A and B are shown apart, each in its own frame.
Chain A
């Protein structure tokens, strides 16, 4: 289908001889875009004069489904939003729902969610760094990163039963407690991760080719980062010191605040974003190490009498209260009682501030489940960052922004 540009390209290009410009279609199926992004590049030789992103190739109606499915069902959909760190999305979604209903989750649940959120951050950054390096020609870092990701997959599989989309959180708790085996796996991961991290650092940090292709490329100034609503590593690499884990502590980040620092950069280029991601992985590793050693005991779900959580199988089949409670939560016209109100809750996920704006009409289904998708907001900056660069810089900038199409288009 033809893409209309807002204004004819020729008028935008002051000075350049429009006759010699040509247009290159990049995507939606292209190895460097990983998923379904499309760019219309106006080129002067190899220099990009103008880049127009065309998105929506993976628009699948997430938010419409959020108005159709209840709070527990929708977790399976948010899973598929940022699919390289699914657990973080679930935690952000249920964080908002619990804020809406007014649930204070148990200490153990807080810690388990914190550990999983940080594991998700590590696996997200690993894939982002690995794939960015892959696009720049360094295959080995990608293989190392994927090996470490398989370890995270193992932990998540042992936790929830599914290695990719676990759908692990529930309103007021988790679908199951973590076992000692999982704790052992996490301890093992904590022990082995620094080696993987060091391997990648040694491969890339002083790699001449990698530095040449990332340093000074795709520079985003601090003013632009604020003006374009950037968050997460992209904003922090430009010097915006903002991390919701410190600024608006949620889960167990208040207790663990001394265990980690916020990683920031100054340059705002691709190399800085890479360094920030590598630094954040180490900070996440510290959080996990601290959290798994101070993991509280006790239940992971809030009290059954609150009528908020799904009772376990034992309570459902062996007690009348459990059965009634189970029935109440699964009848389409019962479920949760919510205030007729609306609330915004945000988490710091690997890509940035992932927020949900939930409007409730008293029923157990959201009236509106708006997502604040970091990828969408970051991709809007792409034309700005691309201007004047070479066409070979496109994969470097795309890789450093970590655009996830499902989160971009929803």
Chain B
């Protein structure tokens, strides 16, 4: 794969590669992600032709077999000319998970990064509009984290009731 040569020349040692089925992956560890991730994605976009950000999502690896880092953000890039895809995984850890924002590269990343922040609490430095997107703005939890219960803490029941007398 030609893009690996380009990446190796520039970011040797900063990433590892793996593959499963047709997904080729480039992983950037939590110690390096804050520094090299943006440049790596920029290199993939500008020099290797991956001009399309197909997907951006978060994962919480708490309790996953053999996991070392907790949070992961997956960037799915596609090359619109050749149809080739590459998956970049960037890790982040508690207590302050933070990754560089890629809104500068792909404007579509705006909402997807906000969703990851809303659901996992991973912050994106340099994001132009960093706030919650799906949950109410008063909400303080991050519901897709593994330590958040499926049925919540009971906040779904805590609303005032309207009876016939009110109306």
Interfacial residues, chain A to chain B (CB-CB below 8 A): 1-4, 6, 55-56, 59, 61, 63-65, 67-68, 99-100, 102, 224, 226-231, 240, 242, 247-248, 339-344, 346, 353, 355, 357, 359, 361-362, 367-368, 370, 372, 376-377, 379-381, 409-410
Contact = CB atoms under 8 A, between A and B. Distances in A.
Interface in B20-44: 20-21, 23
Contact of A4 (B53, B64, B131): B131
Given A56-B133, A368-B60, A377 B23 contact: no
Contact of A372 (B55, B110, B111, B144): B55
Given A6-B128, A357-B57, A376-B111, A226 B137 contact: no
A338 to B, nearest CB: 12
Interface size bracket, B side: 35 or more
Contacts of B66: 340
Interface string B80-124: 100100010000000000000000001111111001000100000
Secondary structure call for the B interface = loop
A224 to B, nearest CB: 8
A361 B65 CA distance: 7
Given A56-B135, A380-B110, A61 B20 contact: no
Nearest to B20: A341
A256 to B, nearest CB: 19
Contacts of A353: 54
B111 A380 contact: yes
Contacts of A368: 59-60
Interface of B: 20-21, 23, 51-55, 57-60, 64-66, 74, 76, 80, 83, 87, 106-112, 115, 119, 128-129, 131-138, 143-144, 150
B69 to A, nearest CB: 14
Contact of A64 (B51, B132, B143): B143
Contact of B137 (A1, A63, A341): A1
Given A339-B20, A343-B23, 14 more contacts: A1-B137, A3-B137, A4-B131, A226-B51, A228-B107, A229-B106, A229-B112, A231-B54, A341-B20, A344-B55, A353-B54, A357-B74, A357-B76, A376-B112
